[in-house]
Amino acid sequence: MTQPPTTVSVIVCAYTEDRWDDLVASVESVRGLPEAPEVLLVVDHNDGLLARSRDRWSDVVVAANESRQGLSGARNTGVALASGDIVAFLDDDASADPAWLTHLLGPFADPRVAGVGGHATPVWPEGGNTLYPAELLWIVGCSHRGLPTRLSDVRNVIGCSMAFRRDAVLSVGGFNLDTGRVGTIPLGGEETDLCIRIRQADPSARIVLEPRADVRHHVTAGRVTWAYLRRRSFYEGVSKAALSRQLGASDSLSSESAYLRRDIPRAALRELRWVGRGGAGRLAALVTAVVATVAGYALGSLRRASLAPVDPSAGQVLPARGSARPAAVGPTDGAP
């Protein structure tokens, strides 16, 4: 086995000034990491946030998303700019543990490992979590009960805490621009899509989960509501239907099938035993999430395919290393 790569870039993508305090905490958490990674902040089509970020940081590469609006385009811009052999991703409302990157990089000692996912611990708003059982924490972008608790091979990683070999991302054309969140529309699946395509292109490639690589993911009050639970679950179903059309149901739904057969029934039985102590509400949340997800999947399956296949040979998503890159402001560009 080879030694872990020594060059790493951490990419943070942001789209709104409403999360400014969280964004500052996110960027500062990676600026202080012992690995001293290259830090890139990609702003998704928001000139005000772009200017404010350039004023705030002079030692961070601050760039505008030069691709289509959305998280996938912003991540692709970051990958194109990155100089590291490994590209790690942290959400703008998440803060990295001091050992986060150390744990993410460790599994790359195995040259077959193409991607590593970490853990996300929720930081709840005032009032705490009054809605979600642990099995539904994926709805708020955090690690849920049922995931491995030690280093394990997985189908896909969690978006707010992950890292990939840059060449592996480039080899499959980057993140699919037709998947993932755009602004506040809670679509998903871009990480799953990327991981599946990497494995389909190279069956020997490994995607692993390292639970010790932890981030603290801030959850806003607006996400601890029944309306958000229903909306996010519905769009998860829509996203899975689109992935299934493009990549095949066996790859796109393997983890979800096991989750529905094993984890949801166990959770429902547990909450039934706790009906008098909050279990009734959590049981209702489980049922609501499953129904909304299935409804979204059904609707998505009836609609015309919306995911355009990514053809890396066409060079339509990401340039190869050394090709022209989007303009950016960094330490040598005169940013104050």
Closest by CA position to 5, among listed 165, 243, 239: 165
Task: Tally the residues of the chain.
Answer: 336
Q: What is the pLDDT of residue 299?
A: 87
- Model confidence at 185, pLDDT cuts 50, 70, 90, reads low
Q: What is the pLDDT of residue 228?
A: 95
* Cα maximum dimension of the chain: 62
Over residues 276-295, the pLDDT tens digits come to 777 889 999 999 999 999 99
- The pTM is what? 0.83
3-state secondary structure of 39: strand
Place of tokens 């500062």: 28
3-state secondary structure of 90: strand
Could you tell me the two tokens for 151?
A: 């280093």
* For helices 190-201 and 226-247, angle between their N-to-C axes, nearest 10 degrees: 20
* Cα dihedral 260/129/89/246 (nearest 10): 30
Percent of the chain with pLDDT over 70: 82
- Model confidence at 189, pLDDT cuts 50, 70, 90, reads confident
Q: What is the pLDDT of residue 184?
A: 57
Mean pLDDT of the chain: 85
Whole-number Å distance between alpha carbons of 298 and 28: 42
Place of tokens 């996203």: 239
Closest by CA position to 114, among listed 251, 253, 5: 5
